[in-house]
Amino acid sequence: MIKPKALRKGDTIGIVSPASPIEQKQKNSFENGIHMLENLGYNIKLGDNALKSNGYLAGNDEERACDLMKMFEDKNVNAIICSRGGYGSERLFKYLDFEKISKNPKIFAGYSNISFLLNIFTQHCGFITFHSPMIINFVDSSYNTNNFINTVSLYQTNFVLGAKSDNTSLNNSSSKAVGELIGGNLTTIIGTIGTDYEINTENCILFLEEVGEKAYAIDRMLTFLKSTGKLSKCKGFILGDFTDCPDSLGRSVNDVLNDIILSLGKPVILSFKCGHGPIKTTLPFGSNVEIDSQTGIVSVLEPVISL
Protein backbone atom coordinates (compact mmCIF):
# COMPACT_ATOMS: atom_id res chain seq x y z
CA MET A 1 0.00 0.00 0.00
CA ILE A 2 1.45 3.39 -1.06
CA LYS A 3 1.81 5.95 1.73
CA PRO A 4 1.14 9.54 0.56
CA LYS A 5 3.70 12.19 1.38
CA ALA A 6 3.36 13.93 4.73
CA LEU A 7 1.68 17.31 4.89
CA ARG A 8 4.08 20.12 5.78
CA LYS A 9 3.51 23.77 6.63
CA GLY A 10 3.60 25.78 3.40
CA ASP A 11 2.04 22.90 1.44
CA THR A 12 -1.09 23.41 -0.64
CA ILE A 13 -4.40 21.79 0.26
CA GLY A 14 -6.94 21.41 -2.53
CA ILE A 15 -10.61 21.66 -1.59
CA VAL A 16 -13.26 19.83 -3.62
CA SER A 17 -16.99 19.10 -3.31
CA PRO A 18 -17.56 15.62 -4.83
CA ALA A 19 -21.00 15.20 -3.30
CA SER A 20 -23.51 17.74 -1.95
CA PRO A 21 -23.10 21.54 -2.04
CA ILE A 22 -22.20 23.85 0.81
CA GLU A 23 -25.58 24.97 2.18
CA GLN A 24 -26.23 28.51 3.35
CA LYS A 25 -26.17 27.41 6.99
CA GLN A 26 -22.75 25.79 6.45
CA LYS A 27 -21.00 28.73 4.78
CA ASN A 28 -19.59 30.19 7.99
CA SER A 29 -18.21 26.81 9.04
CA PHE A 30 -16.74 26.33 5.56
CA GLU A 31 -15.04 29.74 5.55
CA ASN A 32 -13.83 29.35 9.13
CA GLY A 33 -12.43 25.91 8.31
CA ILE A 34 -10.41 27.40 5.45
CA HIS A 35 -9.15 30.24 7.68
CA MET A 36 -8.14 27.73 10.34
CA LEU A 37 -6.01 25.77 7.86
CA GLU A 38 -4.48 28.98 6.54
CA ASN A 39 -3.64 30.09 10.08
CA LEU A 40 -1.90 26.76 10.60
CA GLY A 41 0.40 27.62 7.70
CA TYR A 42 -1.16 25.88 4.70
CA ASN A 43 -2.03 27.33 1.31
CA ILE A 44 -5.55 26.70 0.01
CA LYS A 45 -6.60 25.98 -3.56
CA LEU A 46 -10.34 25.91 -4.11
CA GLY A 47 -11.71 23.66 -6.85
CA ASP A 48 -13.25 25.53 -9.79
CA ASN A 49 -16.67 24.05 -9.00
CA ALA A 50 -16.34 23.59 -5.23
CA LEU A 51 -18.98 26.23 -4.46
CA LYS A 52 -21.46 25.29 -7.18
CA SER A 53 -24.94 24.02 -6.45
CA ASN A 54 -27.19 21.82 -8.55
CA GLY A 55 -30.01 20.82 -6.21
CA TYR A 56 -28.58 18.26 -3.80
CA LEU A 57 -25.35 18.05 -5.82
CA ALA A 58 -22.40 20.46 -5.92
CA GLY A 59 -22.55 20.97 -9.67
CA ASN A 60 -23.07 18.30 -12.30
CA ASP A 61 -21.18 15.01 -12.22
CA GLU A 62 -18.58 16.00 -14.80
CA GLU A 63 -17.81 19.27 -13.01
CA ARG A 64 -17.30 17.56 -9.66
CA ALA A 65 -15.17 14.82 -11.21
CA CYS A 66 -13.13 17.38 -13.16
CA ASP A 67 -12.25 19.22 -9.94
CA LEU A 68 -11.11 15.96 -8.36
CA MET A 69 -8.96 14.96 -11.35
CA LYS A 70 -7.34 18.39 -11.55
CA MET A 71 -6.35 18.25 -7.88
CA PHE A 72 -4.78 14.80 -8.26
CA GLU A 73 -2.88 15.84 -11.38
CA ASP A 74 -1.71 19.19 -9.99
CA LYS A 75 1.87 18.63 -8.77
CA ASN A 76 1.58 21.71 -6.55
CA VAL A 77 -1.32 20.25 -4.55
CA ASN A 78 -0.11 18.13 -1.63
CA ALA A 79 -3.43 17.07 -0.10
CA ILE A 80 -7.12 17.03 -1.02
CA ILE A 81 -9.82 17.61 1.60
CA CYS A 82 -13.51 17.43 0.77
CA SER A 83 -15.78 20.30 1.77
CA ARG A 84 -18.62 18.07 2.98
CA GLY A 85 -20.40 14.79 2.27
CA GLY A 86 -24.13 14.35 1.69
CA TYR A 87 -24.73 12.43 -1.52
CA GLY A 88 -23.21 12.15 -4.97
CA SER A 89 -19.71 10.65 -4.83
CA GLU A 90 -20.94 7.35 -6.28
CA ARG A 91 -22.09 9.17 -9.44
CA LEU A 92 -18.51 10.10 -10.33
CA PHE A 93 -16.78 6.79 -10.99
CA LYS A 94 -17.33 6.75 -14.75
CA TYR A 95 -15.73 10.19 -15.06
CA LEU A 96 -12.63 9.41 -12.99
CA ASP A 97 -9.35 8.19 -14.48
CA PHE A 98 -8.14 5.72 -11.87
CA GLU A 99 -4.89 5.07 -13.70
CA LYS A 100 -3.96 8.75 -13.43
CA ILE A 101 -5.07 8.88 -9.81
CA SER A 102 -2.92 5.81 -9.04
CA LYS A 103 0.10 7.59 -10.50
CA ASN A 104 -0.51 10.66 -8.32
CA PRO A 105 -1.18 9.35 -4.80
CA LYS A 106 -1.64 12.06 -2.20
CA ILE A 107 -3.50 12.69 1.04
CA PHE A 108 -7.23 12.41 0.34
CA ALA A 109 -9.59 13.09 3.23
CA GLY A 110 -13.30 13.10 4.05
CA TYR A 111 -16.05 10.92 5.51
CA SER A 112 -19.79 10.18 5.21
CA ASN A 113 -20.66 9.85 1.50
CA ILE A 114 -16.97 10.42 0.71
CA SER A 115 -16.46 6.85 2.03
CA PHE A 116 -17.19 5.72 -1.53
CA LEU A 117 -14.08 7.50 -2.83
CA LEU A 118 -11.92 6.58 0.18
CA ASN A 119 -12.49 2.88 -0.38
CA ILE A 120 -12.04 3.09 -4.16
CA PHE A 121 -8.77 5.01 -3.95
CA THR A 122 -7.45 2.59 -1.31
CA GLN A 123 -8.60 -0.68 -2.85
CA HIS A 124 -8.38 0.15 -6.57
CA CYS A 125 -5.62 2.78 -6.68
CA GLY A 126 -3.47 1.33 -3.92
CA PHE A 127 -2.82 4.20 -1.53
CA ILE A 128 -3.81 5.03 2.04
CA THR A 129 -6.72 7.48 2.40
CA PHE A 130 -8.04 9.25 5.47
CA HIS A 131 -11.53 9.00 6.95
CA SER A 132 -11.42 12.37 8.63
CA PRO A 133 -13.10 15.70 9.37
CA MET A 134 -13.97 17.82 6.35
CA ILE A 135 -13.65 21.56 5.87
CA ILE A 136 -16.97 22.32 7.59
CA ASN A 137 -15.90 20.21 10.63
CA PHE A 138 -12.58 21.76 11.53
CA VAL A 139 -14.26 24.42 13.67
CA ASP A 140 -16.25 21.84 15.67
CA SER A 141 -13.41 20.69 17.87
CA SER A 142 -9.72 21.39 18.32
CA TYR A 143 -9.31 17.64 18.77
CA ASN A 144 -10.63 17.03 15.25
CA THR A 145 -8.13 19.45 13.74
CA ASN A 146 -5.12 18.42 15.83
CA ASN A 147 -5.75 14.72 15.42
CA PHE A 148 -6.04 15.07 11.63
CA ILE A 149 -2.95 17.25 11.27
CA ASN A 150 -0.88 14.94 13.48
CA THR A 151 -2.01 11.84 11.57
CA VAL A 152 -1.12 13.24 8.13
CA SER A 153 2.03 15.11 9.23
CA LEU A 154 3.88 13.01 11.81
CA TYR A 155 5.86 9.95 10.73
CA GLN A 156 4.86 7.36 13.32
CA THR A 157 5.79 3.69 13.07
CA ASN A 158 3.19 2.56 15.60
CA PHE A 159 0.49 4.62 17.30
CA VAL A 160 -2.89 4.38 19.01
CA LEU A 161 -5.97 5.68 17.19
CA GLY A 162 -8.00 8.06 19.33
CA ALA A 163 -8.95 7.26 22.90
CA LYS A 164 -9.68 3.87 24.42
CA SER A 165 -13.28 2.85 23.71
CA ASP A 166 -15.81 1.53 26.22
CA ASN A 167 -16.50 -2.08 25.30
CA THR A 168 -18.47 -3.06 28.38
CA SER A 169 -21.68 -3.90 26.49
CA LEU A 170 -19.94 -6.35 24.19
CA ASN A 171 -18.62 -9.40 26.04
CA ASN A 172 -16.83 -10.85 23.07
CA SER A 173 -14.70 -13.90 23.85
CA SER A 174 -12.43 -13.20 20.90
CA SER A 175 -9.98 -10.45 21.85
CA LYS A 176 -7.50 -9.33 19.18
CA ALA A 177 -7.46 -9.08 15.40
CA VAL A 178 -5.11 -7.59 12.83
CA GLY A 179 -6.14 -6.48 9.35
CA GLU A 180 -6.37 -3.70 6.81
CA LEU A 181 -8.66 -0.90 7.98
CA ILE A 182 -11.49 -0.08 5.59
CA GLY A 183 -15.15 0.95 5.68
CA GLY A 184 -17.06 4.12 6.52
CA ASN A 185 -20.70 5.09 6.25
CA LEU A 186 -22.99 2.05 6.24
CA THR A 187 -25.51 3.42 3.73
CA THR A 188 -22.73 4.37 1.32
CA ILE A 189 -21.08 0.96 1.63
CA ILE A 190 -24.38 -0.84 0.94
CA GLY A 191 -24.74 1.23 -2.24
CA THR A 192 -21.54 -0.28 -3.67
CA ILE A 193 -22.63 -3.92 -3.44
CA GLY A 194 -23.06 -5.49 -6.87
CA THR A 195 -21.03 -2.79 -8.63
CA ASP A 196 -17.48 -2.92 -9.99
CA TYR A 197 -16.43 -0.93 -6.93
CA GLU A 198 -18.03 -2.87 -4.10
CA ILE A 199 -16.03 -2.92 -0.91
CA ASN A 200 -13.62 -5.82 -0.40
CA THR A 201 -13.70 -6.88 3.26
CA GLU A 202 -11.56 -10.02 3.13
CA ASN A 203 -9.08 -10.11 6.03
CA CYS A 204 -10.01 -6.50 6.88
CA ILE A 205 -10.97 -4.60 10.00
CA LEU A 206 -14.29 -3.04 9.00
CA PHE A 207 -15.21 0.37 10.41
CA LEU A 208 -18.90 1.29 10.31
CA GLU A 209 -20.86 4.43 11.26
CA GLU A 210 -24.25 5.90 10.40
CA VAL A 211 -26.49 8.92 10.91
CA GLY A 212 -30.24 9.49 10.86
CA GLU A 213 -31.36 5.88 10.32
CA LYS A 214 -33.79 4.02 12.57
CA ALA A 215 -32.76 0.77 14.24
CA TYR A 216 -34.78 -1.35 11.80
CA ALA A 217 -33.01 0.28 8.85
CA ILE A 218 -29.61 -0.44 10.44
CA ASP A 219 -30.82 -4.03 10.89
CA ARG A 220 -31.88 -4.25 7.24
CA MET A 221 -28.54 -2.97 5.94
CA LEU A 222 -26.41 -5.13 8.21
CA THR A 223 -28.53 -8.20 7.48
CA PHE A 224 -28.03 -7.60 3.76
CA LEU A 225 -24.29 -7.06 4.23
CA LYS A 226 -24.13 -10.28 6.24
CA SER A 227 -26.01 -12.20 3.54
CA THR A 228 -23.43 -11.16 0.94
CA GLY A 229 -20.64 -12.73 3.01
CA LYS A 230 -18.93 -9.38 3.52
CA LEU A 231 -19.13 -9.55 7.33
CA SER A 232 -17.90 -13.14 7.70
CA LYS A 233 -14.78 -12.27 5.68
CA CYS A 234 -13.74 -9.55 8.15
CA LYS A 235 -11.13 -10.14 10.83
CA GLY A 236 -12.92 -7.76 13.19
CA PHE A 237 -14.98 -4.59 13.53
CA ILE A 238 -14.74 -1.01 14.75
CA LEU A 239 -18.19 0.43 15.39
CA GLY A 240 -18.23 4.23 15.43
CA ASP A 241 -21.00 6.72 16.11
CA PHE A 242 -24.55 5.86 15.14
CA THR A 243 -25.79 9.42 15.44
CA ASP A 244 -29.51 10.25 15.67
CA CYS A 245 -30.42 6.62 15.04
CA PRO A 246 -33.59 6.09 17.14
CA ASP A 247 -35.09 2.87 18.48
CA SER A 248 -37.67 0.97 16.47
CA LEU A 249 -40.54 -0.36 18.61
CA GLY A 250 -38.29 -0.73 21.63
CA ARG A 251 -35.37 -2.25 19.75
CA SER A 252 -32.21 -0.13 19.80
CA VAL A 253 -29.24 0.13 17.46
CA ASN A 254 -27.11 -1.52 20.16
CA ASP A 255 -29.55 -4.43 20.16
CA VAL A 256 -29.07 -4.74 16.41
CA LEU A 257 -25.27 -4.51 16.62
CA ASN A 258 -25.16 -7.15 19.36
CA ASP A 259 -27.47 -9.44 17.39
CA ILE A 260 -25.77 -9.20 13.98
CA ILE A 261 -22.15 -8.24 14.62
CA LEU A 262 -21.50 -9.97 17.95
CA SER A 263 -23.01 -13.22 16.66
CA LEU A 264 -20.09 -13.54 14.27
CA GLY A 265 -17.73 -14.21 17.19
CA LYS A 266 -15.07 -11.77 15.99
CA PRO A 267 -13.26 -9.01 17.92
CA VAL A 268 -15.32 -5.81 18.11
CA ILE A 269 -14.51 -2.27 19.23
CA LEU A 270 -17.68 -0.46 20.29
CA SER A 271 -18.48 3.27 20.52
CA PHE A 272 -15.31 4.42 18.78
CA LYS A 273 -15.34 8.23 18.54
CA CYS A 274 -15.64 8.65 14.79
CA GLY A 275 -18.49 9.38 12.41
CA HIS A 276 -21.22 12.02 12.48
CA GLY A 277 -20.79 12.80 16.17
CA PRO A 278 -18.82 15.85 17.39
CA ILE A 279 -15.54 13.91 17.82
CA LYS A 280 -14.06 12.71 14.54
CA THR A 281 -10.92 10.66 14.99
CA THR A 282 -8.95 10.38 11.75
CA LEU A 283 -8.72 6.81 10.44
CA PRO A 284 -6.07 5.78 7.87
CA PHE A 285 -7.89 3.45 5.47
CA GLY A 286 -5.61 0.86 3.93
CA SER A 287 -3.23 0.72 6.89
CA ASN A 288 -2.69 -2.38 9.01
CA VAL A 289 -4.27 -2.05 12.44
CA GLU A 290 -4.75 -4.19 15.52
CA ILE A 291 -7.91 -4.07 17.59
CA ASP A 292 -8.19 -5.37 21.14
CA SER A 293 -11.78 -5.82 22.23
CA GLN A 294 -10.76 -6.41 25.85
CA THR A 295 -8.95 -3.08 26.23
CA GLY A 296 -10.90 -1.07 23.61
CA ILE A 297 -7.63 0.01 21.96
CA VAL A 298 -7.01 0.38 18.22
CA SER A 299 -3.32 0.47 17.20
CA VAL A 300 -1.90 1.38 13.80
CA LEU A 301 1.01 -0.96 13.10
CA GLU A 302 2.81 0.98 10.38
CA PRO A 303 3.53 4.52 9.14
CA VAL A 304 0.58 5.95 7.20
CA ILE A 305 2.54 8.70 5.42
CA SER A 306 5.96 8.87 3.81
CA LEU A 307 8.63 11.51 4.32
- Side by side, the strands of the sheet bearing 43-46 are 43-46, 12-16, 79-82, 107-110, 129-131, 283-285
Of 63, 90, 180, 209, catalytic: 209
Give the Cα separation of 220 and 237 in Å (integer): 18
| Helix 215-227 × helix 253-260 angle, to 10° | 20
Give the Cα separation of 117 and 184 in Å (integer): 10
Of 29, 112, 132, 271, catalytic: 112
Is residue 124 annotated as a catalytic residue, yes or no?
no
Pairing of strands 12-16, 43-46: parallel
Which are the contacts of 194, defined by CB distance < 8 A and separation ≥ 6?
Answer: none
Is residue 276 annotated as a catalytic residue, yes or no?
yes
CA distance readout (Å), 286 to 56, 174, 253: 30, 23, 27
Is residue 89 annotated as a catalytic residue, yes or no?
no
Of 83, 180, 271, 276, catalytic: 276
Active site residues: 112, 209, 276
